Amino acid sequence: MRTRVAGEWLLALSVCLLCSNVLQAQPLYSKNLAPLSGLFGFPALREAATLPVGQFDGALFASVTNIYSVADNARESVNFDGETQRITVRLRYGLAAEWELEGELPWLQHHGGQLDHPIEQWHDLWGLPNGGREKVPHGLIDFSYQSPVASFAMAESGDGWGDLNLALVRQVWRDESAWLSARAGVKLATGNERQLRGSGSEDYYLSVNYSD
């Protein structure tokens, strides 16, 4: 078996544009923006404290990822070359004492992007390898996978809403500077699976969050 990985470069920038009124430290909002990550319903990190009863909170997060990854072996081949932008709206509401309702809806765009040349310049400045990305034209989108049991190809830009995420959060413990909460959620299949904006099915999850 022969495996060749030509290279991968991943840049993720997350910016909170509208921040919470809750003033305790919060985890950095981040999501995996690799092309196939939308097939899985993993929730983003969040602080453990819940909002006071009747309080509403909204936040807007923006992320961009530029990826170039090529791999093949005797059974399968992968080619990921493109750029993904993700803008997420998150809304929270204090439902009752120590109970919170949370909703999150992303807008996703897959395209050729504008970061190929700056990334190569950055690598050249520090003497870093480009992993083969210098051998292909800039601004391409080519997300493809092939194996005997499954295959897909996406070579055109596209954008639209991703999967809607709804969760119920229960704060189970706190002291003067620490919080512990449990979260149960569902990810609804509102995104287009063929355009890599969703999983194509509902996903359910449970998580425990701790903040201090």
DSSP 82-147: EEEEEEEEEEEEEEETTEEEEEEEEEEEEE--S-HHHHHHHHHHHT---TTGGGS-TT--EEEEE-
CA distance linking residue 53 with residue 76, whole number of Å:
52
Please state which of the ranges 12-26, 80-94, 168-182 shows the lowest mean pLDDT: 12-26
Q: Closest Cα partner for 207 from 178, 173, 174, 182?
A: 182
86 CB-contact burial (10 Å; exposed 0-12 / middle 13-18 / buried 19+): buried
- Spatial neighbors of 9 by CB under 8 A, at least 6 apart, are 66, 67, 68, 119, 130, 131, 133
Q: How would you label 100-124 residue by residue, b for 16+ Cβ within 10 Å and e otherwise?
A: bbbebbbbbbbbbbebbeebbeebe
- pTM of the full predicted structure? 0.82
How large is the average pLDDT for residues 70-99? 95
The answer to whether the beta carbons of residues 93 and 55 sit under 8 Å apart is yes
Q: Is the pLDDT of residue 19 over 60?
A: no
- Give pLDDT tens digits for 110-164: 999 899 999 999 999 999 999 889 899 999 999 999 999 988 899 999 999 999 9
The reported pLDDT for the residue numbered 25 is: 60
